[in-house]
Amino acid sequence: MPLTARVHWTVPFHDIDPMEVCWHGHYVRYFELARTALLQRINYDYPQMRDSGYAWPVIELFIRYAQPLTYQQSLHLDARLVEWENRLKIAYEIRDAVTQKRLTRGHTVQVAVDLQTREMCFVSPDVLHEKLKAYL
Provide the pLDDT for residue 2. 85
The stretch 82-97 carries a mean pLDDT of 97
Provide the pLDDT for residue 11. 98
Buried b (16+ CB within 10 A) or exposed e, 84-97: beebbbbbbbbbbb
The stretch 25-42 carries a mean pLDDT of 98
The answer to whether residue 44 scores a pLDDT higher than 90 is yes
| pTM (two decimals) | 0.95
Calpha distance 9→117 (Å, rounded): 38
Mean pLDDT, all residues of the chain: 96
Calpha distance 4→64 (Å, rounded): 20
